[in-house]
């Protein structure tokens, strides 16, 4: 089954404790992206990657890191989480990312609480 998976689905942590949220897709997609979703603000793009070893900042990259060492995985790293990073996080992928009529597939979401 074609899908985007994220782990963990729920995470409670404390300020300053490094964490990684994994994202994996099995569709051989080149484009992957991370979003955060907050009430009243919709989805905001954190980082995206057009292909292996190619990453770019989205609208809200501060406090986050990503890496794209292999095509299927795009982990989101919070080196020193803060309470304002409490949010619902979505990973997404699509075939190439720049083309018209390209469906972006979203993962199930990771709910993060930083105390």
Partner 1 sequence: GESVGLHLPTLSVQEGDNSIINCAYSNSASDYFIWYKQESGKGPQFIIDIRSNMDKRQGQRVTVLLNKTVKHLSLQIAATQPGDSAVYFCAEKAAGNKLTFGGGTRVLVKP
Task: Assess contact for 19 and 11: CB atoms under 8 A.
Answer: yes
Distances 82 to 37, 51, 90 between C-alpha atoms, Å: 16, 29, 18
**Under rule CB under 8 A, residue 8 binds partner 1:** no
Nearer to partner 1, 45 or 73 (CB): 45
- In angstroms, the CA 90 to CA 105 distance is 10
**Under rule CB under 8 A, residue 41 binds partner 1:** yes
- Kindly list the residues in this chain that would bind partner 1 in the complex (CB under 8 A): 4, 31, 33, 35, 39-45, 48, 50, 56, 58-59, 90, 92, 97-98, 100-101, 103-109
């Amino acid at each position: 089954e074609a899908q985007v998976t994220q782990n963990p689905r729920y995470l409670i942590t404390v300020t300053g404790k490094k964490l990684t949220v994994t994202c994996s897709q099995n569709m051989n997609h080149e484009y992957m992206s991370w979003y955060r979703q907050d009430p009243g603000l919709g989805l905001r793009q954190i980082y995206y990657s057009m292909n292996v070893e190619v990453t770019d900042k989205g609208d809200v990259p501060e406090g986050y890191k990503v890496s794209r060492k292999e095509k299927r995985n795009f982990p989101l790293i919070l080196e020193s989480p803060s309470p304002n990073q409490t949010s619902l996080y979505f990973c997404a992928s699509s075939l190439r990312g720049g083309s018209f009529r390209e469906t972006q597939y979203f993962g199930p979401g990771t709910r993060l609480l930083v105390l």
